[in-house]
């Protein structure tokens, strides 16, 4: 058995799909920041699909890593000629494997920021895309303003500094294009943030304006930032996945990607230097993506938060275990029906009832093996964007808040760092120290967790929210997760 490379592609078993196109004939039209599992199960997959149809051969991807942890991806990409295996795990247990070839280059910015800047400044690059996570946009959760106190941002704003951040790299590339008389590329966010393109525009122009006010104004006027909604459950790749792919498909891949069969991408058609014909491979091109993104963020993403803390506290470790428990699945459906749906706009072409039940089916796919630990991570970047808006809207409209507020209480209980069986919890969050310190005090001071205005803003001042939160947290402490969920749905 050979490791996955361009030279070993012909030797792969017939059951493994392979690029039908000549990868040596591809040219990069896209630079992508954040080449993780989701990007490779989503955007890169759509482009590979186009290329297999003989299309978009000048829209290949040059990946970029910015964080120190991306060094591992650099090594794998170099060893495997930027190839990787995408394995779809179906609910019936069957698997489909395909080698994706749409990424043709990978640059590690800490090693050579100049190479990254010049790549984006070249006239072949027409889109710069992003999957840098919810926390990668560097804005304050309550004010929504750009965080000027970030040490790397402070560094990048110094005259002549070699950029460390995505903001510094992209801004310098746009400045060079302007100097050279080249049209700016489109910046396309693919992250789970409401109005991700609007947020990207605000943050990049804020940084650029701090660097050069005239440049900031030029970017704001001339650079398109389309909004998008992206959806595909993509768990973290495990050693078990690597071994299974080697055993089942004969592919030795250092960093394959596993995912569910469902895929969705809704994208605003706002590009100034063209784009691949995404609509020919299942992407929905629309004028306004907001109804779709609100649907996804407040139903799927917020429901992930609704299952992960409660589930982990109760002793579950995988999403499918929680979704297959009627007590939990009914809680999620009730949250979606009675609290999230009233905050949504009409969604063209979508049957919301069917969509919500499809979510439970997707969460229940035991072969995906999505971990609750993954869903619980970086909560301070997720809850304020996905769940707190539901609470705020329903408070303003006198709507129901008990389930969404109970989810906040389950997060607070989770951050005490021990589950209901007495097992330790490894909390992963950029605000871990402050949140866990607050959670440690909450049996004596029940409001300590939600007193963090950096995360919760003024919700601590709303008595209806405080009362619902206190009731849920007290019940979690006194009676545990399952009793708390039963109290929210007495019929179970």
At 4-35, the pLDDT tens digits run 999 999 999 999 999 999 999 999 999 999 99
pLDDT on residue 19: 98
Let me know if residue 32 belongs to a domain: yes
33 and 85 in one domain? yes
Provide mean pLDDT across the span 364-379: 97
Q: Does the pLDDT at position 492 exceed 70?
A: no
Q: Residue 54's closest CA among 86, 16, 26?
A: 26
pLDDT on residue 415: 98
124 and 227 in one domain? yes
pLDDT on residue 73: 97
Residue 261 contacts residue 90 (beta carbons within 8 Å): yes
pLDDT on residue 489: 84
Q: Per residue in 257-303, pLDDT tens?
A: 999 999 999 999 999 999 999 999 999 999 999 999 999 999 999 99
pLDDT on residue 406: 98
CA torsion sign, 14 to 21 to 185 to 272? Answer: negative
pLDDT on residue 1: 67
Give the whole-angstrom CA distance, residue 144 versus residue 302.
Answer: 20
Of the three residues 286, 303, 331, the one that is the final residue of a domain is: 286
Provide mean pLDDT across the span 111-117: 98
301 and 225 in one domain? no
Q: Does the pLDDT at position 2 exceed 80?
A: no
277 and 313 in one domain? no
Q: Does the pLDDT at position 126 exceed 70?
A: yes
pLDDT on residue 429: 97
Of the three residues 286, 304, 324, the one that is the final residue of a domain is: 286
Give the percent of the chain with pLDDT over 70.
99
User: Domain of 196: which CATH number?
Assistant: 3.40.50.720
pLDDT on residue 220: 96
Q: Does the pLDDT at position 96 exceed 90?
A: yes
User: Domain of 338: which CATH number?
Assistant: 1.10.1040.10
199 and 111 in one domain? yes
Identify the domain containing residue 141 by its residue range. 9-286
* Mean pLDDT estimate for the chain: 96
Q: Per residue in 320-359, pLDDT tens?
A: 999 999 999 999 999 999 999 999 999 999 999 999 999 9
382 and 464 in one domain? yes
127 and 184 in one domain? yes
Q: Per residue in 411-467, pLDDT tens?
A: 999 999 999 999 999 999 999 999 999 999 999 999 999 999 999 999 999 999 999
**Rounded to two decimals, what is the model's pTM?**
0.91
Provide mean pLDDT across the span 137-151: 90
377 and 282 in one domain? no
Of the three residues 247, 268, 286, the one that is the final residue of a domain is: 286
251 and 183 in one domain? yes
279 and 373 in one domain? no
Q: Per residue in 43-84, pLDDT tens?
A: 999 999 999 999 999 999 999 999 999 999 999 999 999 999
Domain total for the chain?
A: 2
Give the whole-angstrom CA distance, residue 18 versus residue 8.
Answer: 11
């Amino acid at each position: 058995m050979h490791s996955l490379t361009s030279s070993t592609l012909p030797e792969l078993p017939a059951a493994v799909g392979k690029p039908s196109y000549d990868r040596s004939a591809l040219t990069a039209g896209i630079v992508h920041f954040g080449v993780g599992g989701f990007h490779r199960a989503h955007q890169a997959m759509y482009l590979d699909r186009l290329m297999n149809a003989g299309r978009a051969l000048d829209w290949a991807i040059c990946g970029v890593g910015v964080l120190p942890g991306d060094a591992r991806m650099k090594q794998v990409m170099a060893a495997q000629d930027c190839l990787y295996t995408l394995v779809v795990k179906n609910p019936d247990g069957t698997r489909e494997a395909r080698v994706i070839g749409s990424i043709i280059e990978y640059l590690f910015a800490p090693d050579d920021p100049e190479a990254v800047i010049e790549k984006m400044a070249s006239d072949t690059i027409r889109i710069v895309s992003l999957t840098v996570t919810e926390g990668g946009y560097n804005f304050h959760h309550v004010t929504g303003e750009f965080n000027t106190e970030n040490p790397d941002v402070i560094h990048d704003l110094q005259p002549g500094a070699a950029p460390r951040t995505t903001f510094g790299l992209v801004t310098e590339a746009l400045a060079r294009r302007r100097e050279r008389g080249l049209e700016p590329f489109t910046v396309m966010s693919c992250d789970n943030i409401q109005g991700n393109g609007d947020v990207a525009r605000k943050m990049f122009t804020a940084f650029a304006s701090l660097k050069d006010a005239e440049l900031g104004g030029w970017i704001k006027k001339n650079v398109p930032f389309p909004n998008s909604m992206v959806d595909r459950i993509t768990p973290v790749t495990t050693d078990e996945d690597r071994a299974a792919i080697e055993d089942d498909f004969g592919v030795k891949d250092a960093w394959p990607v596993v995912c569910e069969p469902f895929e969705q991408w809704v994208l605003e058609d706002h590009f100034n230097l063209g784009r691949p014909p995404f609509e020919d491979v299942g992407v929905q091109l629309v004028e306004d993506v907001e109804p779709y993104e609100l649907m996804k963020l407040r139903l799927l993403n917020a429901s992930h938060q609704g299952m992960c803390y409660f589930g982990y506290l109760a002793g579950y470790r995988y999403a499918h275990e929680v979704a297959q428990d009627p007590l939990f699945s009914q809680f999620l459906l009730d949250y979606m029906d009675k609290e999230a749906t009233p905050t949504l706009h009409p969604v063209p072409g979508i049957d919301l009832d069917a969509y919500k039940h499809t979510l439970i089916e997707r969460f229940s796919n035991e072969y995906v093996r999505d971990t609750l630990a993954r869903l619980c991570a970086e909560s301070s970047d997720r809850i304020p964007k996905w769940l707190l808006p539901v609470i705020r809207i329903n408070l303003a409209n006198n709507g129901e808040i008990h389930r969404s507020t109970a989810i906040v209480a389950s997060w607070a209980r989770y951050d005490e760092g021990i589950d209901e069986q007495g097992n330790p919890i490894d909390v992963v969050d950029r605000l871990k120290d402050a949140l866990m310190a607050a959670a440690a005090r909450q049996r004596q001071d029940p409001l300590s967790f939600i007193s963090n205005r950096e995360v919760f803003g003024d919700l601590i001042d709303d008595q209806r929210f405080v009362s619902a939160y206190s009731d849920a947290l007290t019940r979690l402490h006194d009676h545990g997760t399952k009793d708390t969920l039963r109290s929210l749905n007495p019929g179970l």
